[in-house]
Structure formats: C-alpha cells, structure tokens
C-alpha cells in the first residue's frame, strides 16, 4: 500500500507542490523538491517494511533469546508549518511501514498538502483508521 501511495504521490507531484507553495509561502521550486522527497520517503519505507525481522541472539546452551519487533499501536505526529510534506513522509511513512496507526496534527496554517496526501492514502487502499489527520487549533 505504501508503494501504491508513493506512485499516487508521484502522479500528483505538481498538484501537491502547488498546494504546499500556496499554503506555506515557500518558492515553488522548493515545494517541488519537497513533493519529490515525499515520493522517495514512501517508496523507501515501502521497501523497508518486509526487511524488519526479529533476531535470535546467541546465549547459553538451553536458552533462547529473541528480539521480536512489534508495532507501538497508535503514534502521534505533530507536523510544523514549514515542511509539511517532508516531515509527514519521514515520520508517517516509517510508522505505517511497521504497522502503526497514525494520528497527524499538521500546523493549522499549513495543512492542505497533508490533507491531500491523506486522501491519496485512502485511494491507495490504506484501511480506515490507519491514517488520521486532525486539523485546527
């Protein structure tokens, strides 16, 4: 699903860059770089999702010592106004890849790109409740 999301974000890069530039006041060139980075974050985390495994550690005979990786359950993400897409992709991509549900609070003055990516995530097939965006003060 994260890979599908990265492909959808790639298909909507210019739209997301326009939203980010208008919402944050940053130059369009920088917003385009941010939307390209968002694609790469989701692509990276999609590729990493099946590479996280538990480990069996060497120990005394007769004992087994294992590390098992488990999701935290629900994670909170506070996203500042100046780099909404990049920080969203960096933190939410990793949390979703390991099986957490995410509650995202973008800056109240710069939330349009995050809201649009959440719509794309639903379109990519993310289950209801896996990604939640809370706007406002």
Backbone angles phi, psi at 85, to 5 degrees: -65, -45
Q: What region, left, alpha or beta, does residue 66 occupy, with left being phi > 0 and alpha being psi -120 to 50 degrees?
A: beta
User: Percentage of the chain surpassing pLDDT 70?
Assistant: 100
**What digits encode the pLDDT tens for the residues 7-60?**
999 999 999 999 999 999 999 999 999 999 999 999 999 999 888 777 888 889
CATH number of the domain that residue 12 is part of: 3.40.605.10
Q: Which residues of 113-129 are buried (b: 16+ CB within 10 A; e: fewer)?
A: bbebbbebbeebebeee
Full residue range of the structural domain in which residue 21 is found: 2-133
pLDDT at 53: 78
| Domains contained in the chain, number | 1
Task: Tell me if 31 sits within 8 A of 112, measured CB to CB.
Answer: no
pLDDT at 34: 98
Rounded mean pLDDT, 77-91? 96
- How much is the pTM? 0.88
């Amino acid at each position: 699903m994260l890979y599908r999301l990265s492909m959808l974000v790639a298909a909507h890069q210019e739209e997301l860059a326009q939203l980010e530039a208008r919402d944050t006041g940053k130059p369009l060139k920088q917003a385009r770089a941010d939307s390209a980075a968002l694609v790469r974050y989701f692509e990276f985390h999609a590729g990493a999702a099946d590479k996280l495994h538990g480990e069996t550690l060497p120990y005394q005979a007769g004992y087994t010592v294992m590390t098992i990786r488990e999701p935290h359950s629900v994670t909170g993400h506070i996203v500042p106004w100046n780099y909404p897409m990049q920080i969203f992709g960096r933190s939410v991509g990793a949390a979703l890849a390991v099986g957490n549900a995410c509650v995202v609070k973008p800056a109240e003055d710069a939330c349009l790109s995050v809201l649009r990516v959440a719509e794309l995530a639903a379109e990519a097939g993310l289950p209801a409740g896996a990604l939640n965006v809370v706007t406002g003060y």
